[in-house]
Amino acid sequence: MTDSAWVLRSLLFVPGHRRDMIAKAAAAGADAIILDLEDGVAPAEKAAARRTVAAALDGPLPEHLVVFVRVNSTGSGLLDADLREAAGARMNGVCLPKCDTPADVQAVAARLLTVEDRLGRPRGRLRILALVETARGVLQAPAIARESPRVWGVVFGAEDFTADAGLPRTREGGELAAARTEVGLAAHAAGVEAIDGIFADFRDEPGLVADTAAARRLGYTGKTVIHPAQIAPVHRVLAPAEDEIAKARRIVDAFAQAEAAGSGIVVVDGAMVDRPVAVRAQRVLARAGGAGA
């Protein structure tokens, strides 16, 4: 599966030092896993986590599973060792935390050339998932998202963002609205995916569903999760509903017929359909076809 065909609704974080959890994560049904070397791993565990992640990346992982490694930030002093010791054959890209400026993207993009050479992989294929999770990062999100063709998506990290910006963190997430909107727009303007941050209370399924629906309304197509129980609800919310798919199909068909007959406008279910409506419907069908493929 090439990276342009990825439809990643769920991206499951798993602590990099937990071999047992990595095996469970790989089998949990998420579209992607993110092997964590950063906030989920204590300083004393970093070296062991790199070894465990490297072994997992050279071992058997489901073929369809997309695998990212969350390295430590460019300012951490840990990034070079992360890439040198943890990168492995099965890695599709890195998740870059505390991504504050386009220079952070450049720093990682340049290092990925070395990783690709060492792994004997074609240059330019390892992707970057830029984790925007500070006030600075949010304001720079448009430039971050378009900085490199390696950037596959931008993740809005609500937990670190609220800590950094001095905001409360509520279940309803009203405090996130402005930044989440901005990061989602930045991703779409750059033509990359908008991925939502985690919902920490993993026993609160209604809360997760509401949070995911709020992200979807802002154009987010995927969500990071921390627990296997969060995968199915996220897939349900982010997948187009049956009636939505059926309607999209009616719109696309009717618009194609109208265009063939020389018209740019047609009425479907009592409402006007012109090009933007048809484009939206095509995107719904593309997601419906790609999900779980």
Binding region for Mg ion (CB under 5 A): 39, 160
Helix/strand/coil for 166? coil
Among all residues, whose Cβ is closest to ligand COA? 40
How many Å is the Cα radius of gyration of the chain? 20
Q: Which does 160 bind (CB under 5 to 8 A by kind): ligand COA, Mg ion, none?
A: Mg ion
Residue 254 CB, nearest approach to Mg ion (Å): 47
By CB under 6 A, the residues from 17 to 36 that bind ligand COA are 21, 24-25, 36
* Position 248 contacts ligand COA (CB under 6 A): no
Residue 86 CB, nearest approach to ligand COA (Å): 15
Residue 163 CB, nearest approach to Mg ion (Å): 8
Residue 220 CB, nearest approach to ligand COA (Å): 17
Q: Which long-range CB contacts under 8 A does 262-270 form with residues at least 24 apart? A: none
Binding segment for ligand COA among 8-16, 108-116, 168-176, 212-220 (CB under 6 A)? 8-16
In DSSP notation, 101-144 reads SHHHHHHHHHHHHHHHHHHT--TT-SEEEEEE-SHHHHHHHHHH
DSSP state, 275? H
Cβ closer to Mg ion: 163 or 279? 163
Binding segment for ligand COA among 13-21, 60-68, 187-195, 211-219 (CB under 6 A)? 13-21
* Position 226 contacts ligand COA (CB under 6 A): yes
Give the pair of three-digit tokens for residue 263: 């018209």
162 to 201: interface string for ligand COA, x by CB under 6 A:
------------------------------------x---
**CB burial string 193-222: b at 16+ within 10 A, e below:** bbbbbbbeeeeeeebbbbbbebbbebebbb
Cβ closer to Mg ion: 40 or 88? 40
Cβ closer to ligand COA: 56 or 198? 198
Using CB atoms within 10 Å of the CB of residue 47, give its burial: 0 to 12 exposed, 13 to 18 middle, 19+ buried: middle
Whole-angstrom distance, CA of residue 29 vs CA of residue 22: 12
Using CA atoms, how far residue 265 sits from 18, 162, 245, 269, in Å, is 56, 45, 20, 13
β-pairing verdict for 266-268 and 271-273: antiparallel
Q: Which residues bind ligand COA (CB under 6 A)?
A: 12-15, 21, 24-25, 36, 39-40, 198, 202, 226-228
